[in-house]
Copies of this chain bind each other. A is one copy, B any other.
Amino acid sequence: MNRTHTCGELRRQDDGKTVKLAGWVAKRRNLGSIVFIDLRDRYGMTQVTFDEEHAPLVKDVRNEYVIEIEGKVSVKESPNPKLATGEIEVLADKCTVLAEAKTTPMIIADETDALEDIRLKYRYLDIRRNPIKDKLLLRDKVTTVVRDTLHKKDFVEVETPILSKSTPEGARDYLVPSRLYNGRFYALPQSPQIYKQLLMIGGMDRYFQIARCFRDEDLRADRQPEFTQIDIEMSFADEEDIFAVVEDVMRNIFREVKGIDDLEFKRIKYVDAMEYYGSDKPDIRFGNKLQDISDIFRDTEFKIFSDVLERKGVIKALVINEHGFSRKDIDKLTEFVKIYKAKALAYLKLDEGTFSGSLNNALSEEEKNSLKEKLGLKDKDTVFIIADDKKIVDVALGALRSKLGNELGLINKDEYAFAWITDFPMYEWSEEEGRYLAAHHPFTSPKLEDLDKLIDDKANCYSRAYDLVLNGYELLSGSVRIHNKELQAKVFEALELTPEKARERFGFFLEAFDYGAPPHCGVGIGLERLIMILTDTDNIKDVLAFPKTATAVCLMSEAPSNVDQDQLDFLGLDIRKKD
């Protein structure tokens, strides 16, 4: 061993001890003939001082050299309050260079102006920086809390295959050609969904896995081709049971990591989330709910509103208190809601008892007074109004609510507001395919009271799927699964999946339900998203050791890369030029 202590360990009470430290040279300063070196390792930083006699030992030592030093701990006259070891220094009398270092292409410091491409290419240098290192340490801490919590509840971690079969979850699979079976492929799992359900049928009762998942999708800023899911499934259980398990997991994580002890978990039905927040991932850290004001305009003379109501649209309002919006602000917000297909953004301001704004002349005094009463408007309030088809109104006004909530500081950034969103629709209409698709996945149980709507009234058929939302982000989704073969067949029928096609795609899975499947339910929690929220970053790359770019490239290793022809020959593959 090259050290007696780490660089984060020595304190006042170690005064006088002879110690051996090893680490990286974070900084070297010469003060006359004395040399100070800040020696860094994962655990912290220690000041090492070489006096006149010993300074020659480090005359060639530069930043990021790896050195081993020996010396005596000495209490400093003027402590450095920024360092945990700041009360002491080590007066060194020996130094061995363990490895030299060239000038690094980026500075190893908490703040960096290095381009992301440089940081990714030299990821091993980026990891030396506290902001990245600390996130990786926290990630390990979180998975440890998850495992501890679940183990105490009798959950068993089971490793399921990575070389698996295509799962029917819609996204594109990463494929792995088989060498032994020419023309056949494994698929990397998009989730262990089928395996975990089979484990339930296998009687494993309570399963979890910190599972690697893969999706070959075009990446967005918060996506990576491979990601990690805290995957949980339990038998003889329903929503209440799985919610309780997940809530305990979250409570323990937030207690350990954030010292927060009073998490609350609200419950909001999907339809209410859409109605009041215009989103199935509402940020409930602030109010400003959307309010339906259609009733006020049943007999309006304002043609735009009456037209909307005539074609069964809705008129909804978002009230923002005490903020002066300029004409320019309003123009920008109008552009913003157009992204969400709203045709316009109307507004009214109340100022010293009088209204102004785009709707001021269009509406009657009576309508304005009704609005004032219904919305409880106070002086300095602004009301944003969108009239359109309900879906457009909800989504556009919901997006506006989020935007303003963030930009106007309506959100307490220290709050963690969880909400279970329940009773999702069973299906969603695909414009592209002209038919209903499974909103969650085809193994999700419908609400038992909606069984009669499964086939005949898809638009009003709800499911036992649920999401857990945290501060406006979807942290997990899950569902109570179908465990009855007849019901599963009916759902396939509803999804226009013929028995033949269903058999071909997941016949082995369906067959398993012939042999006694217990009722079961589960969730998959996005680990990266959770860590991002806990470490307050919106860059998913920050929470992975070796992330890929938005085009799925590892800038460090340059994967994916060309392979030798004989590797292709072994696999019986030819590369075809794509158009």
Segment with Cβ contacts to B, from A48-56, A355-363, A426-434, A513-521: A513-521
User: A157 an interface residue at 8 Å Cβ cutoff?
Assistant: yes
A228: nearest residue on chain B (CB-CB)?
B159
A579: nearest residue on chain B (CB-CB)?
B572
Interface range for A:
35 or more
Q: Which residues of B contact A513 (CB under 8 A)?
A: 99
Q: Which residues of B contact A545 (CB under 8 A)?
A: 158-160, 195, 199
C-alpha gap A139/B206 in the complex (Å): 15
User: A403 an interface residue at 8 Å Cβ cutoff?
Assistant: no
- Whether B185 and A556, one on each chain, are in contact in the complex, defined by CB atoms closer than 8 angstroms, is no
Q: Which residues of B contact A128 (CB under 8 A)?
A: 202-203
- Whether A551 and B1, one on each chain, are in contact in the complex, defined by CB atoms closer than 8 angstroms, is no
Closest Cβ–Cβ distance, residue A506 to chain B (whole Å): 9
C-alpha gap A160/B114 in the complex (Å): 23
- Whether B516 and A99, one on each chain, are in contact in the complex, defined by CB atoms closer than 8 angstroms, is yes
User: A473 an interface residue at 8 Å Cβ cutoff?
Assistant: no
- Whether A546 and B165, one on each chain, are in contact in the complex, defined by CB atoms closer than 8 angstroms, is no
Q: How would you classify the secondary structure of chain A's contact residues: helix, strand, loop or mixed?
A: loop
8 Å CB contact of A198 from B43, B124, B151, B174: B124
- Whether B557 and A184, one on each chain, are in contact in the complex, defined by CB atoms closer than 8 angstroms, is no
Given known contacts A127-B202, A162-B212, is B560 in contact with A186 (CB within 8 Å)?
A: yes
- Whether B66 and A518, one on each chain, are in contact in the complex, defined by CB atoms closer than 8 angstroms, is yes
Segment with Cβ contacts to B, from A82-90, A232-240, A435-443: A232-240
Segment with Cβ contacts to B, from A72-80, A140-148, A376-384, A462-470: A140-148
User: A424 an interface residue at 8 Å Cβ cutoff?
Assistant: no
- Whether A41 and B205, one on each chain, are in contact in the complex, defined by CB atoms closer than 8 angstroms, is yes
Q: Which residues of B contact A1 (CB under 8 A)?
A: 236-238, 240-241
A208: nearest residue on chain B (CB-CB)?
B140
- Nearest 6 pairs of A and B residues by beta carbon: A127-B202, A101-B516, A165-B559, A178-B560, A184-B560, A124-B202
A-side residues, CB < 8 A to B, are 1-3, 6, 22-24, 40-43, 64-66, 68, 98-102, 104, 121-128, 133, 136-137, 139-140, 143-144, 147, 151, 154, 156-166, 172-188, 194-195, 198-199, 201-206, 212, 214, 216, 225-226, 228, 236-238, 240-241, 483-484, 508-509, 512-519, 544-546, 548, 551-554, 556-563, 567, 570-578
